[in-house]
Structure 1
């Protein structure tokens, strides 16, 4: 279908529960997609929204309990939204074999996230100019795909425990500068901080991933500083490297968790995943939710809103959270540089320390 083709999106909203958590559905291209909306007490729409994408095999519920984003949402007055990937995975921008597509069937996730952003605006939940996207691991790779393909849709991005696919050096061509944050542990044994190479594809290192987007955004030189060591029982340490003086006021930053494993840092109480003991150390000097919001909240209000996103309807007036009473047509995302251009050719390792190690993640 072409750019102007339409597909149906049907919203079904059950009654809100007492703690502001709603389990919602969205039909996109024949797929019944699920997402969980968490609205802190006292927050009414249209409000800032952070959409958070889980890692492979997680559910919205397990990710929500593990990530700790709800605490930041309550403290700063934004809505947290947790979509579910088809088969609990995301169709991110890495070559298919690197994300186990042979055994897992991801959904039409680009279309789903585009439709979800519009749905949240039309329901009056989201301020369309202040919708943000974050994710961890497989979800973090999906964040970067959306940054490359739909830079106009989200005001800022945060990718945690996920580095840029090497093919993005040629294929990632967003239509505007992309404010983006990376958070990554230097001892991550699942998605290597230093990048990795396989016969079917490669990823860049975390620093090179940030530098890639700094080049895309036309940023100036970076600055670096150590973050305060707040937890004396924590053997990790955090360093912030930031690129400013970027086009259109954008920015790029990388928070490196020294000795940190494949886990998002958190200072709030969370419920650990079953796999947590095998994922390495979890930093406690910084909190992912707080750092995400600190970075993202500087952007929004001037982001270009795509046609049809956030149209004024009775449900989108301040304080209203009612769903549309009839199906809403959502534009099909346009063809992107990351679609149709990728080949199955073997990716050769670059002669650089930015691609080391092996991973089947």
Structure 2
């Protein structure tokens, strides 16, 4: 069953606005494991359901891949944490080599994300206070941009090595986690996170900023630190 959206909701996609919201699920939960989500409109995305989730409302982390990457390649960034913390891990696929704002504006990828969220909310009872939007590289830039626009939906934004964030509508005050390697040659820290973080702080956002001695990557310990406020990770 696919989520449907009003004409007003579809118009909001052009501004990066998402309409799907968690509520009482109407479909049977999907079993534990990796599920590929696709239909005739959208590219193949992935949802990882960890074992032992039970019947309580679940945290959800949406994880966005970098340029020329894919859900399969980005899932390992947080898959172990999803298993340990028992949260749903949704990895959308961009329609092009990267996310739509890289090409100039919101549109098709926001539509994909909204429909995917609708499908997850149909099958699972998601805790509305524990929904995070995460991403790596171009996916981190997209997570920052979309997360700030939709701050009433996402309580937390996790940006691993972001390059930028787009101006525009802001809502809510999600907490922000940013990590960046000091030796990053793909998205150099000086012109990326060291510019982004002060802008966020000046606008009243709570930012947990972690620099590390490394390149364009996500150290496992920082991946765990990023999701820690959403879940209790066993030692």
Look up the SS of the partner of 1:87 in the other structure.
Answer: coil
Partner of 2:182: 186
Unaligned 5+ segments in structure 1 are: 196-204, 220-250, 267-285, 299-361
Asked if 1:36 is matched to 2:46, the reply is yes
TM-score (norm 2): 0.77
Out of 149-158 and 125-134, give the one that drifted further: 125-134
Question: What are the superposed Cα offsets for residues 266-286 of structure 1, whole Å, 9 maximum, x if unpaired?
Answer: 2xxxxxxxxxxxxxxxxxxx3
Q: CA deviation at 1:163?
A: 3.3
Q: Secondary structure of the residue that 2:189 maps to in structure 1? A: coil
1:21 aligns with 2:23: no
Pair 1:210 & 2:197 matched: yes
Aligned equivalents of 2:109, 2:38: Cα separation in 1? 14
Q: 1:152 to 1:33 in 2, by over 3 A?
A: farther
Q: CA deviation at 1:128?
A: 3.4
Output one character per residue of 1:109-151: Cα deviation in whole Å (capped at 9) or x when no partner.
Answer: 1222233223212222533332211000111111011123222
Judge conservation of contact 1:149–1:173 (CA < 8 Å) in 2. yes
Number of residues paired by the alignment?
Answer: 212
Q: Give the match for residue 74 of structure 2.
A: 63
Q: CA RMSD in A?
A: 3.1
Aligned runs of 1:1-361 on 2, under 5 Å?
A: 3=8, 20-25=33-38, 31-44=41-54, 46-65=57-76, 67=77, 69-92=78-101, 96=104, 108-124=108-124, 126-165=126-165, 168=166, 171-195=167-191, 205-217=192-204, 251-258=206-213, 260-266=214-220, 286-288=221-223, 290-297=224-231
Q: Distance in 2 between matches of 1:52 and 1:60?
A: 8
Between Structure 1 and Structure 2, which shows a larger proportion of helix residues?
2
Q: Tell me, what secondary structure is at the counterpart of 2:225?
A: helix
SS class of match (1:42): coil
Report the counterpart of residue 23 of structure 2 in structure 1. Answer: none
Q: Deviations over 1:190-242 (max 9, x none)?
A: 111011xxxxxxxxx3133112112222x6xxxxxxxxxxxxxxxxxxxxxxx
RCO greater where, 1 or 2, for CA within 8 Å and sep 6 or more? 1
Q: TM-score under structure 1 normalisation? A: 0.52
Question: What secondary structure sits across from 1:86 in the alignment?
Answer: coil
Q: Would the aligned equivalents of 1:117 and 1:131 in 2 still touch at CA under 8 Å? A: no
Q: Considering only CA atoms, is the larger Rg found in Structure 1 or Structure 2?
A: 1
